[in-house]
Amino acid sequence: MRLLVVAEDAPDRSATTGNGSTMITAHLVPLLAKDAEVDLAYFDDGRRTVPDDVRDACRRVVALPVRPSRQALVATPFTRLPRATWRRASGAAVAAVAGLAAESDAVWVHGLHAFAATCAAVEPLATSAKPPAVLAHEVDPWADHWRQRASSRTGAARRYDLLQAARAQALEERTSRLARAYAVVAP
């Protein structure tokens, strides 16, 4: 079985530079590689490097481009995606994921910010003779995160959080229509 893992950031176990999302992929990718040929595609913002044991466990490791933060800030009023998600949903990233997904039996997309590029890449494959199975995985439901944060804020900050919640909700719903399984790990 060939498994494509699409991660929103480079896997990282470090308590200082990693986060819940990066630690999950850093621990799980080497374990998955025991039972499958794993291709890892991760969004590379330059802050992390893939640990050697994760890289060695994979058949192929591909760094995907991330748009600059300032460009994302300017684009925020004009996109339907959360800002960090839009940074990762470039045409180059979608094309790279599409090529890898077409060669895969399954796609595990980890983290909301990787969902848009993965959906755009995998949706056209849904009608192919052998579409890959898709598993979507979020550490937290981001729509809920933004709504909770909005409940304690006022004015423009509250409106921004509610807009981000609506964008995250739409992306979560789009992903759930594509995925065979959708796992959410929430505290």
Tell me the per-residue pLDDT of 98-124, one tens digit each, with 9 for 90 and over: 999 999 999 999 888 888 888 888 988
Domains of the chain, each with CATH number or no CATH: 2-140 (3.40.50.80)
Q: Determine the distance from the C-alpha atom of residue 49 to the mean position of all C-alpha atoms in its chain, rounded to a whole number.
A: 17
SS (H, E, C) 116-180: HHHHHHHHHHHHCCCCCEEEEEECCCHHHHHHHHHHCCCHHHHHHHHHHHHHHHHHHHHHHHHCC
Predicted model pTM: 0.87
Distance (Å, rounded) from C-alpha 169 to C-alpha 185?
16
Residue corresponding to tokens 């460009």 = 71
Tens digit of pLDDT for each residue in 131-169?
A: 899 988 877 788 998 999 999 999 999 999 999 899 889
List pLDDT tens digits, range 37-92: 999 999 999 989 999 999 999 999 999 999 998 888 888 788 888 888 888 989 99
> Taking 60 as the threshold, does the pLDDT of residue 187 lie above it?
no
Gap between the Cα atoms of 79 and 87, Å rounded:
11
DSSP 51-119: -HHHHHH-SEEEEEP---HHHHHHHGGG-SS-HHHHHH--HHHHHHHHHHHHT-SEEEEESHHHHHHHH
Query: Do residues 108 and 3 touch, judged by C-beta distance below 8 A?
Result: yes
Digit-coded pLDDT (tens) for 5-46 = 999 999 999 989 888 889 999 999 999 999 999 999 999 999
**Total residues belonging to the chain:** 187
Helix (H) or strand (E) holding 23: helix 20-32
Tokens of 70: 């300032």
